[in-house]
Amino acid sequence: MSVYESTFGFESILGQEKPIRLLTTLLQNGTIPHALLFIGIEGVGKQTAAMALAMACNCMAIKPKHNPCGCCKSCRKIESNNHPDIILLKPSGPFIRIGQIRDLCGTLAMKPYEARLRVVIISDAQAMNPSAGNALLKVLEEPPDRTILILTALQTSDLLPTILSRCQHIRFNPVSQRNLESLLIQRHGANPDEAKIIAIMANGSVSKAVSMINSINRVNWINRRIWLINEVESLPVSSMGSRMAFAEKLSKSKEILAESLEVIKFWFRDLVVCKYHPEKIINRDLNDKIRRASKKMNVISLISKIDDIESAQKNIQANTNLRLTLEVLIMRLAKV
């Protein structure tokens, strides 16, 4: 989901003053490197910033002031994904495969059609398998003329060190809870209470916050968080039938399953954090409940449950049997 709201370019990106300042400085000085790596969690504006940079590099306005005008022929083509020299490469299924990189290399062997600077945006670069990563490395070692490559990824540890060393890194931080609350209230009609809860659950991601407030009835999200936490808390003493019923309910709400699993993961994460840094708890409105639950569980068990959730999330993304994956997960979470 785009982080664009009502304006174009860098000014539309929420809460990323430092990376945007760095990008505009590179534009002003004419020192844009041939390869950039945008690092940060999902939904904080990495791809939006990459598109804004592509627009700024090719804007036809006389004085764009290093922010694209959004109105010229080039800007309109890029914004509508119709520019022949702005290439967006995404994972095919769970991976970016070597065939995709080879096709890209074939395109880059030719000169840009009309752009001053051709821009290649490789989204979710952490999804490159090793062969794809090695194929891309050849492009980074011998960058094509008038071409900028922008990679986006969740964290540097997911990429080959040889790729990391050939890119300039720009970090995008999670958006503050205060900024998310303001966005939800001012632009999406949320009331302060629901904005606060959804901002907590979004954990710094603009796209996740907007998705959650638009996906189902807002009050239901507030209630659903409490329901999920209560269900998970009761798992160790619940019957087998209750556990399977919980898994079934999760599977039937597929459109909000990703957010539901994040809520459960944040809950266990808070139980760990409470033991060492209680001031860093995400669900701060549930401090007392978290403190009581944390005392009952040891760190090893909690970390194991977080690992189980992340494993289930990966399996779901890989299109494994959804119901079976959730049933296995619930049984693991029920272990004391």
pLDDT for the residue 256: 86
C-beta separation of 248 from 325 below 8 A: no
pLDDT band at residue 288 using 50, 70 and 90 as cut-offs: very high
Query: What is 218-334's CATH number?
Result: 1.20.272
Q: Measuring CA to CA, how many Å separate 260 from each of 66, 257, 273?
A: 40, 5, 20
Across residues 276-295, what is the average pLDDT?
A: 91
* 212/76: higher pLDDT: 76
Lowest mean pLDDT segment, chosen from 57-71, 100-114, 282-296, 316-330: 57-71
pLDDT band at residue 8 using 50, 70 and 90 as cut-offs: low
Locate all alpha helices (DSSP H) within 8-160, ordered by sequence.
17-29, 46-58, 73-79, 98-108, 130-141
Indicate the Cα dihedral angle 145, 151, 157, 159, nearest 10°: -60
pLDDT in tens, 135-152: 999 899 988 999 999 999
pLDDT for the residue 3: 41
* 288/7: higher pLDDT: 288
Q: What is the pTM of this model?
A: 0.80
pLDDT for the residue 1: 36
**Three-state secondary-structure class, residue 83:** coil
Q: In what order do the strands lie in the sheet with 35-39?
A: 86-89, 118-122, 147-153, 35-39, 168-171
pLDDT for the residue 244: 96
Residue with tokens 């068990």: 301
pLDDT band at residue 201 using 50, 70 and 90 as cut-offs: confident
- In the predicted structure, residue 202 carries a pLDDT above the cut 90: no
Query: What is 9-171's CATH number?
Result: 3.40.50.300
Domain boundaries, the chain: 9-171, 176-215, 218-334
Q: Measuring CA to CA, how many Å separate 309 from each of 193, 211, 226, 273, 288?
A: 28, 21, 18, 17, 24
Long-range pairs of 71-80 with CB within 8 A, sequence gap ≥ 24: 74/115, 75/8, 78/51, 78/54, 79/8, 79/51, 79/55
Which residue type, as a one-letter code, is found at position 303? I
Work out the percent of the chain whose per-residue pLDDT is above 70.
95
